[in-house]
Structure formats: structure tokens, C-alpha cells
Amino acid sequence: MLTKEQIEDFKARLEKERDILTTELASLGKRNPTNPADWEPAPQGDVFGADRNDNADIIEELHENNAAINDLEVRLVSVNEALVRINEGTYGVCQVSGEDIELDRLNANPAAKTCMEHMSEGAV
């Protein structure tokens, strides 16, 4: 069982990670205006022009940014879900077995949803 202090500590770490992820997403893309949880790649500075090679470079950069954005979004969702579990009082409990998640595992990944034994069954 986690103590209140341990949970507060993980909460602070998760909130910090959420802020870092949000900053990274903002540097790579822009929020989808119709879905604030979704981020889209946005050209940084460059805009499409008359030069085909320049445009190809911009498109390639957008594709790379899109892959990075997807990774960051996935991580941000896990972090936000962990923060919800803290609010609901279910944080630190394996979602497969219902047992306490090992402290080592939470230290390595505060957004962990499962104990080590069930890592492969619960995403992340």
C-alpha cells in the first residue's frame, strides 16, 4: 500500500511530466481546435513556397514530427490516466490482478497500470 506521501510524490512527478510533454507537443505541433487532446504537426517557421525541394523538406519534417507527436500523445494519455487514478484513489493498483504495483516499477514509470508480472497484458 502506498502512503499518502508516496502518492503525493508520484502525483508531483506525473504533473511535471505532463507539463514537459505538453511543452514538447507545443513545440512540434498545434492543438486540434475541435479536439484539444489531439495534436497535429505544424510547420515551425517555414511555410510552403514555390520551391518543390523546399516543400518536400517541409513535408518530410511534418511526417517526422507526426511520429514524435504520436509517441508524446500516447505518453501524455498514460500520464493523465495515472493522475485520474490518483484522484479516484485507485493509483498503484495493478489493473489486471488488483494487487499493489511494486514500488520499483512505479519509480521507473509512475504512470504504470500493472505490476511487473502483468506488464505485457496492460498497455504501458
* 63-102 binders of Zn ion (CB under 5 A): 94, 96-97
Single out the residue of 89, 91, 85, 115 nearest to residue 101, CA to CA. Answer: 115
Q: Which alpha helices (DSSP H) does the chain contain, by range?
A: 4-28, 52-88, 103-108
Q: Which is nearer to Zn ion, 42 or 96 (CB)?
A: 96
Closest distance of CB 98 from Zn ion, Å: 7
**Torsion over CA of 103, 25, 38 and 79, rounded to 10 degrees?**
10
Under 8 Å between Cβ of 109 and 44? no
**How near is the Cβ of 10 to Zn ion at its closest, in Å?**
18
Smaller CB separation from Zn ion, 62 or 115: 115
Minimum distance of Zn ion from residue 103's CB (angstroms): 14
Q: Give the number of residues in contact with Zn ion, rule: CB under 5 A.
A: 5
Closest to Zn ion by CB, 31 vs 105, is 105
Strands 29-32 and 35-41: antiparallel
C-alpha grid cell, residue 114: 500493472
> Does residue number 118 form part of the binding site for Zn ion (CB under 5 A)?
yes
Q: How far is the CB of 84 from Zn ion (least distance, A)?
A: 19
Contacts with Zn ion by CB under 5 A lie at: 94, 96-97, 115, 118
